[in-house]
Chain A
């Protein structure tokens, strides 16, 4: 076993890492938007929206991600809904992660002191104003760490895009394993590559967390 397999294929590893980064960043950006909307629905005074938010979270949290992938990519074309593998991956990853983000943000909203919402309402803010100006800015600060964990989980979950032929990091590693018959070297390379992606994310998160923390 030599690690030369990894060094000879640094270009392919690099490309795989780049695809993983793209999937993760696009997926998380969309998931964040979805999550905020879902959380807003779940705390709103409008019963149908609350129900819709709850259903969204329960449905997408309890179906395995890979089932969503194959349903969307192999099943939905029968309904005329057809996207490229990469776009499909971003959609599925963000829809799935959005449910978790929504749950996390809602938990954050619950940590905001009740007096805040009461004060905002007593000065005449509407529900959306109250949420946007008063509650969400405070709620998001308290959930930076859990959101960061979701981000790191998304880095790993993006590997499932390989099932629908998006060759990201795990895809590169699997193909190299088959081509070179040196699984341990290839696996070590992939592991280091994932670490290179997750460790800086954790570091950046730490900085963000300190920056936004309440000064008490």
Chain B
């Protein structure tokens, strides 16, 4: 834990007060936890029958399968969104006015609407347009449409964060635009983008749970099914939430570590990821801002 920024080196009175506040707040927290636990036991939610299903393999296997489906959708969506994002970033930086505007409009449209709306459009709208796919692909499609736009902005910010001297030097030694892009700009920009990309992966993993609303059997949907079946909905949702917490904290830590390594290894910093996890808005200066999605 980091040292408190506002109160280093307390005096004797400050230490006494801080001690009293510590004791009081600890008591308050313990009481709150005790009240919550009592509520659980009063309503019979600690009954072993409610928690037992998590110790038997078929239930666990069912839930883990859901986690597997979540990861599968997230990985496929991430790969495709990466491809789409690259095209969009190159498009927005292109010299051609039409390409630049098309890419710009795409990014603005798909970043401006809720992912859930895209999910519904994909799963309930596309069949009306005679596009019939497996539910998995409706979910992936919505995730790609949205995250492609977000990743496109990350890539663009990464490329723009490089010193213009790099592309000038590349032209000076006679490289064409594309040669300069692929040999000089992108390899450097990519390194800076890695932490932001990992953060976006965490967001995408969280967002995959929206597949729930269109009955894709991801982790949360499997949790609901298992909970209805075992008559322990509350407990199952708690387990689902805890599992998400563990996985996402681990991934976020990785992102943070990558960012620190970036800072120390290369003198040029990574694109800053404010708040580390949720990066949705990156402006042209490579400054990232927090935004949960």
A183 touching B124 by the CB < 8 A rule?
yes
A153 touching B280 by the CB < 8 A rule?
yes
In the assembled complex, which residues on chain B have CB atoms less than 8 Å from the CB atom of A88? Answer: none
Min Cβ gap B135→A in Å is: 16
A187 touching B241 by the CB < 8 A rule?
no
User: Quick check: is B248 within 8 A (CB to CB) of the other chain?
Assistant: yes
In the assembled complex, which residues on chain B have CB atoms less than 8 Å from the CB atom of A174? Answer: 117, 120, 124
B277 touching A45 by the CB < 8 A rule?
no
A195 touching B112 by the CB < 8 A rule?
yes
A76 touching B234 by the CB < 8 A rule?
yes
Min Cβ gap A179→B in Å is: 11
- In whole angstroms, what is the CA distance A123 to B133 when docked? 69
Min Cβ gap B214→A in Å is: 10
In the assembled complex, which residues on chain B have CB atoms less than 8 Å from the CB atom of A68? Answer: 241
Interface residue from A48, A74, A109, A187 paired with B237 (Cβ < 8 Å): A74
- Among the stretches B168-176, B183-191, B202-210, the one at the interface with A is B202-210
Interface residue from A45, A75, A103, A170 paired with B4 (Cβ < 8 Å): A45
- Among the stretches B5-13, B83-91, B154-162, the one at the interface with A is B5-13
B36-83 residues with Cβ-Cβ distance < 8 A to A are: 39-40, 43, 45
In the assembled complex, which residues on chain B have CB atoms less than 8 Å from the CB atom of A62? Answer: 202, 206, 244-245, 248-249, 252, 277
- In whole angstroms, what is the CA distance A146 to B6 when docked? 22
B245 touching A100 by the CB < 8 A rule?
no
Annotate A68-86 by CB proximity to B: 1 below 8 A, 0 otherwise: 1011001110111000000
Annotate A35-54 by CB proximity to B: 1 below 8 A, 0 otherwise: 00000000111111111101
A100 touching B290 by the CB < 8 A rule?
yes
The bracket for how many chain B residues form the interface is: 35 or more
Known contacts A78-B234, A117-B5, A170-B114; A71/B292 CB under 8 A:
no
In the assembled complex, which residues on chain B have CB atoms less than 8 Å from the CB atom of A75? Answer: 233-234, 237-238
A67 touching B241 by the CB < 8 A rule?
yes
Of the listed residues B5, B120, B224, the one surrounded by the most CB atoms of chain A closer than 10 A to its CB is B120
A184 touching B25 by the CB < 8 A rule?
no
Known contacts A62-B248, A75-B234, A79-B45; A194/B112 CB under 8 A:
yes
In the assembled complex, which residues on chain A have CB atoms less than 8 Å from the CB atom of B4? Answer: 43-45, 50
Known contacts A70-B237, A78-B234, A107-B275; A45/B10 CB under 8 A:
yes
Interface residues in A, total, Cβ within 8 A = 74
Known contacts A44-B7, A65-B292, A145-B289; A79/B209 CB under 8 A:
no
User: Quick check: is A9 within 8 A (CB to CB) of the other chain?
Assistant: no
Annotate A182-198 by CB proximity to B: 1 below 8 A, 0 otherwise: 11101100110011001
**Interface SS of chain B:** helix
- In whole angstroms, what is the CA distance A103 to B249 when docked? 15
Min Cβ gap A203→B in Å is: 14
- In whole angstroms, what is the CA distance A71 to B25 when docked? 27
Known contacts A64-B244, A71-B237, A174-B124; A104/B252 CB under 8 A:
no
User: Quick check: is A130 within 8 A (CB to CB) of the other chain?
Assistant: yes
- In whole angstroms, what is the CA distance A103 to B116 when docked? 25
- In whole angstroms, what is the CA distance A184 to B224 when docked? 31
- In whole angstroms, what is the CA distance A131 to B280 when docked? 30
User: Quick check: is A13 within 8 A (CB to CB) of the other chain?
Assistant: no
A45 touching B241 by the CB < 8 A rule?
no
In the assembled complex, which residues on chain A have CB atoms less than 8 Å from the CB atom of B40? Answer: 79
In the assembled complex, which residues on chain B have CB atoms less than 8 Å from the CB atom of A153? Answer: 278, 280, 291-293
B1-44 residues with Cβ-Cβ distance < 8 A to A are: 1, 4-7, 10, 14, 17-18, 21-22, 25-26, 29, 39-40, 43
In the assembled complex, which residues on chain B have CB atoms less than 8 Å from the CB atom of A47? Answer: 22
Min Cβ gap A95→B in Å is: 12
Annotate B198-222 by CB proximity to A: 1 below 8 A, 0 otherwise: 0000100011011011000000100
Min Cβ gap B209→A in Å is: 4
Sample (5) of A-B pairs whose CB atoms are under 8 Å apart: A43-B4, A62-B245, A114-B5, A163-B212, A183-B121
- Seen from chain A, the residues whose Cβ lies within 8 Å of a Cβ on chain B are 43-52, 54, 58-59, 61-68, 70-71, 74-76, 78-80, 96-97, 100, 103-104, 107, 109-110, 114, 117, 121, 126-127, 130-131, 135, 145-146, 149-150, 152-153, 156-157, 159-160, 162-163, 169-170, 173-174, 177-178, 181-184, 186-187, 190-191, 194-195, 198
